[in-house]
């Protein structure tokens, strides 16, 4: 029998080891969060403020809370609204448009809306209501309204659409919208947001073609049109006038050509904090991962809102002074599928068929039933997508892993995990003649395949920022970035085996959103099969040889 003192010492040692282990895990979690999070935990933040595809931002402050809307195009639920207390740490608030039933093309019914759909939304708050004004290129103008940003939102199809609209409620109760490309127009609206006047030309862009993305403000007696000359090398300008119809004078407020995370920063919103500070939320084209929002300080110089510090956009900078300190938050990406609803990070590629997916038929799983008979992933309904989040380091890759049970598939069914844009690729299982084949498909071509037994498999996609990480995150390269995705599988979630080749990820205007991780199941012969996803998990992981 051991002496009681020795027993107590052993217990103490074990407890100490356990505590050290727990602390190391906590430290690892903090480091991991910081790798995927803008807030540095020391009163500073690092741009991009969100390292994911949240383009065309508009931001407003209402009752101490900041609200942020961005473009989602053909993904629904869409028109995503975020909220924050400090402009750095954001969380999901609502998806204002659950589905978009204004054309069969949003159902992938013989046509599609890739590269089209909702974009460049104007967010305003007036007389106790939130408003979202946007355009689709094919269906025209729409306005959503709600008493709370969390919804529910009511959507109305307007008699006229306005390109890149900037909604504005003036002090005298009149309503205006600024809009246009290369030429900026001002139109007065009635209380139903229909035109109450003709379109009045107020400014013609003279730096180059393509002035757009107009937001309207009235500050110290001046009307300001906050616009961009868009593109990867974007230029942000402010126009000002004492009269809303002009004439307007123009000032370049930032034209950032330093290769790094703010190259070409443009298009977004001016924001004043509760303490009187001024900031702007713009975005940067970040290659295949999409367009990332960047938070910049604003200094007023001779009545102009100058962006950045001494003409340069900031990378790491002191967080905005909002009067209080708020905790670090991260936008969710992983999902165990244990709830009654999908996490708000998810969106369907075009409108889903709600009868063809379920979180309740097999509790703890996402069941995807085949919703259409098709020949390829781009034409398949009920593909579930979410944004890729980049890492604040070019030594890390973004990993997505899904556990899939495929016993419910029918002959001709194809199910798996994809990285989707143009080009696209996936790893998954196809059932044919009663047998299962694991395959990697790159842009419609089968690259590798092998027979597989059992009913469960772990699928993984690894997305590397490649030269894009260096270009946008540490500035060492001067060529616009690309990135690569690779695919692997495992039978035990421990050892993963590479399958197929690399996908050279790109940002194609044919799609016009960043690459997305996707879960899918579609039929090539007949509907009726299903695939069950137990979980979907993301992480930032060191790049290794298997990913290159």
User: C-alpha distances in angstroms, 171 versus 157, 270, 297?
Assistant: 26, 18, 27
Q: Which residue has the tokens 């430290």?
A: 27
Q: Point out which residues pair with 457 in neighbouring strands.
A: 404
Give the integer Cα–Cα distance in Å for 97 and 284: 25
| Consecutive H or E run containing 452 | strand 445-452
- Pair 253, 307: CB distance under 8 Å: yes
Instruction: Record the tokens describing residue 468, joined without a space.
Output: 């894009």
**Which residues belong to CATH 2.60.120.200 in the chain?**
347-547
Architecture of the structural domain at 347-547 = Sandwich (2.60)
Instruction: Record the tokens describing residue 177, joined without a space.
Output: 């919208």
**Which residues belong to CATH 2.115.10.20 in the chain?**
48-318
Among 230, 186, 185, 188, which residue's Cα sits nearest to residue 204?
185
Residues with active-site annotation: 56, 212
Identify the DSSP state of 287.
G
pTM of the predicted structure, to 2 decimals: 0.92
Give the integer Cα–Cα distance in Å for 367 and 468: 35
Instruction: Record the tokens describing residue 334, joined without a space.
Output: 């992983």
Cβ neighbours of residue 251 closer than 8 Å, sequence gap 6 or more: 237, 238, 239, 240, 304
C-alpha R_g of the chain: 25
- Helix, strand, or coil (residue 51): coil
Q: What is the pLDDT along the chain (548 residues), one digit of tens a residue?
A: 444 333 333 433 334 333 333 333 333 333 334 456 899 999 999 999 999 999 999 999 999 999 999 999 999 999 999 999 999 999 999 999 999 999 999 999 999 999 999 999 999 999 999 999 999 999 999 999 999 999 999 999 999 999 999 999 999 999 999 999 999 999 999 999 999 999 999 999 999 999 999 999 999 999 999 999 999 999 999 999 999 999 999 999 999 999 889 999 999 999 999 999 999 999 999 899 999 999 999 999 999 999 999 999 999 999 999 999 999 999 999 999 999 999 999 999 999 999 999 999 999 999 999 999 999 999 999 999 999 999 888 788 899 999 999 999 999 999 999 999 999 999 999 999 999 999 999 999 999 999 999 999 999 999 987 544 333 333 333 334 568 999 999 999 999 999 999 999 999 999 999 999 999 999 999 999 999 999 999 999 898 877 77
**CATH number for the domain running over 48-318:** 2.115.10.20
């Amino acid at each position: 029998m051991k002496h009681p003192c020795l027993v107590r010492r052993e217990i103490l040692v074990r407890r100490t080891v356990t505590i050290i282990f727990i602390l190391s895990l906590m430290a690892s979690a903090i480091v991991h969060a910081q790798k995927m999070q803008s807030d540095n935990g020391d009163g500073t933040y690092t741009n991009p403020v969100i390292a994911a595809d949240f383009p065309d931002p508009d931001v407003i402050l209402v009752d101490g809370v900041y609200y942020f809307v961005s473009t989602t195009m053909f993904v629904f639920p869409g028109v995503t609204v975020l909220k924050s207390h400090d402009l750095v740490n954001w969380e999901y608030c609502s998806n204002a448009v659950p589905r978009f039933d204004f054309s069969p093309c949003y159902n992938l019914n013989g046509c599609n809306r890739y590269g089209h759909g909702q974009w460049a939304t104007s967010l305003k708050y007036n007389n106790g209501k939130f408003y979202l004004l946007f355009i689709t290129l094919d269906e025209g103008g729409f306005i959503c309204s709600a008493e709370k940003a969390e919804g529910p939102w009511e959507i109305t199809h307007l008699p006229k659409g306005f390109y890149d609209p900037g909604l504005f409620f003036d002090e005298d109760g009149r309503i205006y919208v600024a809009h246009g490309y290369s030429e900026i127009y001002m139109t007065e609206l009635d209380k139903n947001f229909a035109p109450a006047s003709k379109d009045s030309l107020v400014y013609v862009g003279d730096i180059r073609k393509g002035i757009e993305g107009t937001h309207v403000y009235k500050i110290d007696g001046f009307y300001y049109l906050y616009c961009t000359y868009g593109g990867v090398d974007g230029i942000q300008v402010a126009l000002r006038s004492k009269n809303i119809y002009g004439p307007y004078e123009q000032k370049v407020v930032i034209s950032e050509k330093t290769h790094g995370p703010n190259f070409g920063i443009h298009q977004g919103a001016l924001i004043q904090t509760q303490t009187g500070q001024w900031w702007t939320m713009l975005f940067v084209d970040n290659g295949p991962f999409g367009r990332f929002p960047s938070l910049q300080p604003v200094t007023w110089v001779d009545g102009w809102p100058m962006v950045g510090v001494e003409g340069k956009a900031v990378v790491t900078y002191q967080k905005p002074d909002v009067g209080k300190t708020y905790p670090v938050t991260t936008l969710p990406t992983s999902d165990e599928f244990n709830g009654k609803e999908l996490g708000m990070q998810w969106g369907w590629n075009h409108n889903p068929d709600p009868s063809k997916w379920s979180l309740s038929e097999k509790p703890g799983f996402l069941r995807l039933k085949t919703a259409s008979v098709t020949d390829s992933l781009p034409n398949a309904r009920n593909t579930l997508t979410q944004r890729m989040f980049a890492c604040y380091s070019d030594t890390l890759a973004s990993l997505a892993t899904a556990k899939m049970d495929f016993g419910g598939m029918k002959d001709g069914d194809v199910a798996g995990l994809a990285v989707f844009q143009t080009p696209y690729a996936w790893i998954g299982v196809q059932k044919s003649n009663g047998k299962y084949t694991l395959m990697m498909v790159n842009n419609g071509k089968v690259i590798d395949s092998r027979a597989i037994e059992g009913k469960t498999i772990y699928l993984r996609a690894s997305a590397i920022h490649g030269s894009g990480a260096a270009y946008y995150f540490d500035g060492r390269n001067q060529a616009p970035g690309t990135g690569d995705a690779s695919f692997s599988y495992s039978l035990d979630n421990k050892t993963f085996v590479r399958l197929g080749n690399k996908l050279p990820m790109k940002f194609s205007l044919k799609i016009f959103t960043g690459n997305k991780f996707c879960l899918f199941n579609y039929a090539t012969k007949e509907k009726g099969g299903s695939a069950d996803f137990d979980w979907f998990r993301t992480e930032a992981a060191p790049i290794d040889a298997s990913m290159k």
